[in-house]
Amino acid sequence: MALRILQGLLPFLFILGLSPLLVGLINKQKALLTGRTGAPIWQPYYELIRLSRKETIYAKTASFVSRLAPVVVFSAVLIAGFMLPVGYTRPLLSFNGDIVVFAYLLGLARFFQIIGAMDIGSSFEGMGAAREATFAVFAEPIYFFTIGSLAFVSGYTSLYEIYLSIRLDNPSSLVFIIVSSISAFFLMVTECSRMPVDDPNTHLELTMIHEVMILDNSGVDLFLYQYSSYIKIMIYGIYEVLFFNPFGMQNQWLGFSLFIVLLLLLSTIVAWVETMIARLKMKNVPQYLLFATAIGILDLLIYTFVK
């Protein structure tokens, strides 16, 4: 029993502890690819520490929603993180139908971030919130088509069991891995506000999405927002990497190291993509997301007919 709890705590610590590191890695590689030295990979930790020490200031127009939102966002994202298996141990939370809960926990986080942004009453935040809401509409089908088609095929509705059901002896699994990882990558890029949907480095309010929503937050609130955005990247990274699960199924330690390697590889890919691709025009973003949705539909089609 104690072992099970320990095993369950492992993902908790992993996600909580290492997600700033993943972001730091991405930023460092991005800097290197563009020929700069870049900040050290621990920079996100320093940022978080710095933010936690600062005083929290609220706008005069802000209501209790502003105080509530960061906490809700952080906890919702963290709980969603508990549903993903890290290194092939059974996650803390795993039950039938958790794929839907997973999606809506993240949805809840987004909802509170949006109303939190609107609550402040600044037009910039309102604009950012509107964009976030628009893109979320297009991003959600990607998730449901990808994971839904796999749930449909495997017959499971729990993330952990779905991932376990991917097997290499089924020749079409390879197709699945390719197609799903592409659409999952699109999903990650959108949900985590990375390029080419949003540029995390930009400081021009007119073009930002995520950064503009937290413009008026400070101190612990900003700490929570930033931390949850790091965790979100980690969650989607894991979500993507787990499609390659069957390769490390036989041995837990081999699986775990493969998991780490893939996560590192993913950070390189994200950095590479962000270096190579310019941010899309705002009006072209829905099209880009629809492309990912179309891939998801294709996925569903294939798996419905070629079990």
**Least distance in Å: CB of 190 to another protein?**
15
For the CB of residue 306, give the shortest distance to another protein in the complex, in Å.
6
What amino acid occupies position 40? P
* Binding flag, residue 280, another protein (CB under 8 A): no
33 binds another protein (CB under 8 A): no
Which residue, 61 or 284, has its beta carbon nearer to another protein? 284
- The residue (of 86 and 189) whose beta carbon lies closer to another protein is 189
The verdict on 290 binding another protein (CB under 8 A) reads: yes
* Smaller CB separation from another protein, 201 or 284: 284
Contacts of 282 (CB under 8 A, 6+ apart): 131, 207
Angle in degrees, CA 118, 228, 115, rounded to 5: 15
Q: Is 298 in the site for another protein (CB under 8 A)?
A: yes
Report CA-CA distances (Å) from 267 to 28, 56, 187, 233.
Answer: 10, 32, 15, 10
Asked whether position 294 contacts another protein by CB under 8 A, the answer is: yes
Stretch near another protein under the rule CB under 8 A, chosen from 88-96, 108-116, 166-174, 234-242: 166-174
For the CB of residue 302, give the shortest distance to another protein in the complex, in Å: 6
Residue 305 as a binder of another protein (CB under 8 A): the answer is yes
Instruction: In whole angstroms, give the CA distance from residue 290 to residue 287.
Output: 5
Range 181-220, binding another protein (CB under 8 A): 182
CA angle 232, 240, 86 (to 5 degrees): 75
Please tell me whether residue 51 binds another protein under the rule CB under 8 A: no
Helix (H) or strand (E) holding 62: none
CA distance 164 to 84: 12
Q: Determine the Cα–Cα distance for residues 236 and 69; give it in Å rounded to an integer.
A: 21
Residue 152 interacting with another protein (CB under 8 A): no
Eight-state DSSP code of residue 246: G
Q: Which residues bind another protein (CB under 8 A)?
A: 171-172, 174-175, 178-179, 182, 284, 286-288, 290-291, 294-295, 297-298, 301-302, 304-306
